[in-house]
Structure formats: structure tokens, C-alpha cells
Structure 1
Amino acid sequence: MDSAPVRAAEFFAGIGLVRTALERVKGAQIQVVWANDIKQAKYDAYAANFPDAEDHFVVRDIRRIEASDLPTGIELATSSFPCIDLSLAGNRRGLVGEQSGMFWEFAKIVEGMSPRPSVILLENVHGFATSHGGKDLEAALASLSKLDYSLDVLAIDARHFVPQSRPRMFIVGIQQDKLPSQALHDVPPVSDVRPAWVRAIHETHRQTLDMHYIDLPALPEGPRDLDGFVETDVAGDLWWDEGRVEAFVRSLSDVQKARFEALLAGNTISYRTAYRRTRQGVSVWELRKDGIAGCLRTTGGGSSKQALVRLGRGSKAVRWMTPREYANLMGAHEYKLLAGTPNQQLFGFGDAVVVDVIEWIGNKYLLPVLRPAGTE
């Protein structure tokens, strides 16, 4: 039995939410010993939360990193490579894009590592599966298969853990000689972590690539409202003035306005989130019909920021969501907001992973593979 902590490397580490999650895995059995990102502002946020950052965090373009730069004995490598070229909201250039094409740099480094990590975990948007008609995903899977990884694909919406709709896909690669006995090589049944479109990926590629799946438990139900995630004691000047709130209301469609008025007349205080959209060339606000937040985004402009709407007992109030609320919705309630401007903080969280999702994958999948004797 190997009782030593799993040594992990975090590529595209951002503000460190993968590390936050991995350190919560049972018995603190996973330890991040190397991390990288290109942005100094993200390092600053990471360092404010992890005092040992200067010992292992490399602020450098991944294209200037060699396999030899990493410490030895890496068993787990994680990669949340940029999604902008894969996202349906992005430019859809795919893996030839300047940002999402960084996947190939990650794969090149892994290829050069000796020994290679026993397990790799990749995270990205669902658009990765359909980019260039599925050819981008096929190419990525093929490149990892050539490095002797058997591959599994998962899809998890963070709403099972936090009140935020944030669907993401994950690729788990396991070196062939590390595949556990519970790994199965036929087409997986449809489940909450492998919906029909993920099952189709397995079915399409299992004859030509090394594919497997491992049975996983059902995902938890998840919260249905924002209670415990919103700040109730923010400064009064953060709430919009009456004129701005009225402009917000005027922009709502008839359906949206009816939803707004019903909540306004309610006997309890309710919170909803809203995004600004452009409909037929006109900027309008749209209010979510459920009690959870929309997918938090990187703050590249006003339309990407999410507003919080408080309604009930005849009272209405609107403001932008705060960095603390973004942190909470990413499962990082205890994350210290000590570095960067509020906009940089919003950007960092919008560009990150949900802690609870990675922790769940770590406990239910990664640790049983990497330390089978030490898990329940």
C-alpha cells in the first residue's frame, strides 16, 4: 500500500480552485506540487491563498515550459485549458484557436514527462464535444490515446453541488498499466454523469481508441435557491438607484415582467439572477425563472456580468453580484479575496472550476484509481 500523498501538477491553474478541491479529497491525499498560469493577476490571487506558491507556481506561457521543468514523480496532471475557442459563446475556432489550442502544448509536455502521470484530468465546456463537428475532440482523444492513456468522458453540471448552472465535460485518462479492475471497456449506460451525448462519444470511438468507463454513484440533488450564497449585508451604495432599477424593469419582456411582478408580490424575499442580452439589436435584461444563478462568466464586458435581483413583500432591488458571491457559487466560501481589483476577482472565478465538482471527482474517481488501498 502506498500511503504517500499523490503528487499533482495543475496546468492552467488560474486562481487555484483545482488545488482547493484536491486538498479537500479524503485524508488530504492529493498534494499540488507544481502549478502554472500565464497571468500575474491569477498568481497573485493564488499566492494570497497558498503561501507556498512561490515555491511551485510558475508564471509563464505554457509554450515556454518543457517537461523537464516539472518536478519528478507527478502522478496526476490536471488541465483546465482555455475554452474561448470551443464555447458556443466564443468564436468556435476550436483547437486551432490561439487560446484553446493550448491543449496541444499540455499534451506535448505530458508526452515528454518520464514517467508520465498515471492519471490526467481535463476540464472544458460542452462545446468541446461539437467543435468542428466533433473532430477537435476526436483529435484530442487520439493524441492522448497515443500516449498510452485509456480515456473516459464525463459531463457534470455544477448545479448538483452549488446553485449555479454550469455544465462542463471532463476527460479522465489513465495509463494502461494503472487501469483498475473496475474499469469497463464496453459502451457505458446512460446516467447523470454520462448522458446520451457522452455515451455516443464512447460508442463512436471505442473501436479506434482506448476507451473505458468506471461506474460512479448518482450525483447529489443540489441546492435550489441562493440562500447561503448571496451577501445580505453589502454596502447600501452597491444597490442601484431607483432610476436604474426602473430602467431594468422597462427592459423586461412581457413574460419577464410577469415573472418579476409575481416575485415582487410574494410574501417572502426571493433572489434571482439576470443577464443583459441583445435581442433584435436591443439591449434587454432577462431574469432566470429558477432560483439558481446562471453560468458565471469571465467579465469581458457588461453583458457578461450577472446581476442579483431581490424581490418580495412589495420591495425590489437590483445590483451587480459581488466577488464574494462569485466565490461562494464556485464552492470557494473560504477563499481569501486579498489580491486584485473586484473585476479581476470576478474574472478569476468566472474562468475557474467549481470546487465541489472537482472534489467529487477526486473522491469518487481519481483517488480510488491512484490510491485504491487507501479509499473506502
Structure 2
Amino acid sequence: MESIQEKIRLPEITSRPPKGVNKEDLANKLAFLTHYLQTRDNGAASYFRKEAEEFLREFISEDMDIETAFDSVADDFTNIPFPAPEHPTFKFIDLFAGIGGFRMAFQNLGGKCVFTSEWSDSSKMTYAANFGEVPFGDITKIHESLIPDHNILLAGFPCQPFSIAGVSKKTSLGREHGFKDETQGTLFFDVARIIEHKRPQAFLLENVKNLVSHDKKRTFTIIRETLKELGYNLHCQIIDGKHFVPQHRERIFIVGFDEKVYNRDEDFQFPILPKPSSVLEDILLNDVPDKYTLTDNLWTYLQNYAQKHKEKGNGFGFGLAARDGIARTLSARYYKDGSEILIPQEPGQNPRRLTPRECARLQGFPDDFKIVVADTSAYKQFGNSVVRPLVEAIGENIVNIITKK
């Protein structure tokens, strides 16, 4: 008889579900099962137990004890590269989780992740392979009451414009509008509603530097005012990842602490940034397959494109990176032509792209982080991720305050 382990496989089952099985429905069931297995030893398990049991019973005989069934599949999802600490000191949730840069950082600081959400199927595969947990999907479809209690909320939410239509009219009528009206329809609204309902002691949000100036600064103003309205004291700073990895990568970080808990007296400081010390050579592989070298046609195109814009006085063009320097910002579009970070090679050779493993290193991921998707998806995933050691440095100062309290 086919074993449970053979019937339920990650990440293959999420990319190639059995015939006649709805992919989204299967991913959601796997999210309940894996979340339950990852939280089986703490109070968060009650949020996932019912659905996890119903799903598992589809694969076992009627007379098989359910706890035995859970035990039989536990190793598949807990024997992973990056397990949670055995004795966690706080709980956190991971929203817009990507491939788990936030999770890795806060697990390293002693935290236990009790809920995660990510919409991308390929990112779910990478996340599951490394953390043994399939993230839940579209956060807009998840009610905040279904999320376990936690100390810290983490989110690298997308940047979207806010509509302020109707606000002035409501104000003139003497009505309260608040964040539910100003942010409805944006993904930040989902972060705000979860914060309002679950009241974490603290949160850490991350976004591109341009969030601050986006939509004539209205977007960032609404975000700040919304979080203050929810009763959180804010600390914001733009930080460049070059202090931790050989990459120029500026991001805005927003840290908030519950005013009812800390009375605006949490004494939080962003970390003192170390002097940049690593260079691109430090993350490069010694033996790189020929497929990463640009073809003659692509290299000619990129040079002509750069020359055309140079003549027009524009700065557009490829980035030939110095091995003893730092790279430009790695973006999700890197899979297209790799033009923002090209590695020079021997004289007479065209430059090459970074490999996915080098992209992982450029974001501060260790070499035992599993890359289980094709190169195109891997480039997108690492381009959308965070500089893990930078997040960990910020997180350490948050955790010090949380655990003292």
C-alpha cells in the first residue's frame, strides 16, 4: 500500500497536483496540515487542528489512530534545513512571506513562526522546502480571527497608491473615516486589520525606498497615520543593505510598538551599521556553467542600448560590476537579461549573469538554503526578498525589548 509520505509530497504536490484536484484547494489543505505540524507543541496548533485532521483522514484507513498518522508524516515536514528553535522565546507571523527571509532572521533570534501567508505558488515551494510549511495564500481572503496570537508581526507588503476620494466629503459631514476607508482595496489594509485585531506587541514592515515619496508622499503619510491611529509608536529609517552584503539596496523599515504596552517608552534604536566590508568577489562561485555567460546577440544588444541612451544623456544601461566593489540592487526582473549586475570574465569572454546561488548569497542566505525552482523563478524570488542579516540586526533590537517585557 502506498504510504502517506508517498501520497503527500512537498514541494512536488504543490506544483503538480493529482489529476482532478484543485491546486488552490490542495495548497490550502497543505497549509493547514503543515502549520499544525509546525505548531503541534504550542497553543497555536488549535487554529489548524480541525482542517489538518480532516485532510489527513483522506489518506489513512478508518481504523488508523489520527495521532499515529500525524506522527508518521511529521518527519516529512519537520526534517528541514531551517527548523524553529526548540525553546522559542516569542511568537511571530510572516505576511507576504516570499521565500522566508524574515522568517529565517527571526528564527535565528529565538522566535517561533505561527502563521505565514504568500500568494506566489513558486515561492510557496521554496518556503516549504526550507521551513516545512506551506504558506496560506491570498491574505485578502483570510479572516484576521483565524490567525494565532503573536508577539511580532512581520510584513514586506507591496507598495500601492491609496484613494482619498470621499474622505473630504465624510469629514464635512462630521463622520469618522479612519484607516478602513482610506486603505480599503490595498494590501496594506490587510496588514492594518490584522494589527488592529491581534494587537501584537510590535511589528516590522519593509518596503522599497520609493514608498516614502510614492504618490507625492500621500502613500507613506496614510501608512504612518493609519499605524498611529491603531495606537502604535513608530520608528522609520531607510537603510542600505551594503552594510551587510556587497549590494547597494536601500529599503524603508517601519517598526511599531503598542503604546498600551510600552507607553511610547520602548527605547528602540535602529542598529549601529557596520562599515561595509564585503565585496562581490566574496559571494561568487569558482565554477560557473557556460549557460550563465551572455550570448553574443544579447551582449551586443545591451551595449547598443546603453550607447543609445548615453547619447541622449540618460543613465540607462547595463551594470558591469567590479569584483572588488558592490553590486547594484538585485531586482525581480533579473531573470530577463541580468543587465543590472553583470560579472566580467576573462578577456575575450562576454560577461555573465549571477547564478541563483550567488543571488542567494547576495541577499545573505546561507548555502544550505534550498533552491528548488527553475532559474527564472529563483531570480524573481531572490530579487523580491530581503537582506537577511540586515533584517536580523533590526530584529535583534526589537526582540530585546519584547523579551524584557
Report the TM-score when normalising by structure 2: 0.66
Write the distance in 1 (CA, Å) between the matches of 2:188 and 2:305: 41
Q: Give CA-to-partner distance per residue, 1:118-156, whole Å, 9 cap, x none.
A: 001110012111122222212111111122111111221
Judging changes above 3 Å, is the alpha-carbon distance between structure 1 residues 71 and 278 closer, same or farther for their aligned structure 2 residues?
farther
Q: Which has the larger radius of gyration?
A: 2
Residue number among 271, 289, 299 corresponding to 1:235 in the alignment: 289
> What is the one-letter code of the residue matched to 2:233?
S
Write the distance in 1 (CA, Å) between the matches of 2:266 and 2:183: 35
Is the 1:277–1:285 contact (alpha carbons within 8 Å) kept by the matching residues of 2?
Answer: no
Write the distance in 1 (CA, Å) between the matches of 2:184 and 2:365: 26
Tell me the SS of whatever aligns to 1:310: coil
Please list every run of 5 or more consecutive structure 2 residues that lacks an aligned counterpart in the other structure. 1-86, 165-181
Tell me the SS of whatever aligns to 2:273: coil
Deviation at 1:371, TM superposition (A): 1.0
Q: Does 1:18 align with 2:102?
A: yes
Computed over aligned residues only, the root mean square deviation of the Cα atoms, in angstroms, reads 3.3
Residue number among 20, 32, 37 corresponding to 2:118 in the alignment: 37
Q: Which has the higher helix share?
A: 2
Is the 2:338–2:353 contact (alpha carbons within 8 Å) kept by the matching residues of 1?
Answer: no
Q: What's 1:372 paired with?
A: 404
Which stretch shows the higher mean deviation, 281-290 or 166-175? 281-290
Write the distance in 1 (CA, Å) between the matches of 2:338 and 2:162: 21
Write the distance in 2 (CA, Å) between the matches of 1:126 and 1:357: 15
Matches within 5 A, 1:325-344: 325-344=358-377
Deviation at 1:75, TM superposition (A): 0.4
Asked which structure has the greater RCO (Cα within 8 Å, sep 6+), the reply is 1
Q: Give CA-to-partner distance per residue, 1:280-324, whole Å, 9 cap, x none.
A: 899853435782111111128736754422256x45441222111
Is the 1:17–1:352 contact (alpha carbons within 8 Å) kept by the matching residues of 2?
Answer: yes
Matches within 5 A, 1:140-159: 140-159=223-242
Q: What's 2:214 paired with?
A: 131
Which stretch shows the higher mean deviation, 173-182 or 342-351? 173-182
Report the TM-score when normalising by structure 1: 0.70
Is the 1:178–1:369 contact (alpha carbons within 8 Å) kept by the matching residues of 2?
Answer: no
Q: Which has the higher strand share?
A: 1
Which stretch shows the higher mean deviation, 242-251 or 162-171? 242-251
Judging changes above 3 Å, is the alpha-carbon distance between structure 1 residues 235 and 43 closer, same or farther for their aligned structure 2 residues?
same
Q: What's 2:156 paired with?
A: 80
Judging changes above 3 Å, is the alpha-carbon distance between structure 1 residues 320 and 64 closer, same or farther for their aligned structure 2 residues?
same
Is the 1:309–1:317 contact (alpha carbons within 8 Å) kept by the matching residues of 2?
Answer: no
Write the distance in 2 (CA, Å) between the matches of 1:303 and 1:95: 35
Write the distance in 2 (CA, Å) between the matches of 1:144 and 1:117: 12
Residue number among 171, 191, 196 corresponding to 2:254 in the alignment: 171
> What is the one-letter code of the residue matched to 1:230?
L
Tell me the SS of whatever aligns to 1:132: coil
Aligned residue pairs: how many? Answer: 301
Q: Give CA-to-partner distance per residue, 1:204-262, whole Å, 9 cap, x none.
A: xxxxxxxxxx34452011235212211220113432355655665566549xxxxxxxx
Write the distance in 2 (CA, Å) between the matches of 1:77 and 1:339: 27
Is the 1:324–1:337 contact (alpha carbons within 8 Å) kept by the matching residues of 2?
Answer: no
Q: What's 1:61 paired with?
A: 138
Write the distance in 2 (CA, Å) between the matches of 1:279 and 1:343: 32
> What is the one-letter code of the residue matched to 1:153?
C
Please list every run of 5 or more consecutive structure 1 residues that lacks an aligned counterpart in the other structure. 86-92, 185-213, 255-275
Q: What's 1:298 paired with?
A: 332
Write the distance in 2 (CA, Å) between the matches of 1:13 and 1:95: 26
Tell me the SS of whatever aligns to 2:99: coil
Is the 1:11–1:80 contact (alpha carbons within 8 Å) kept by the matching residues of 2?
Answer: yes
Write the distance in 1 (CA, Å) between the matches of 2:225 and 2:264: 23
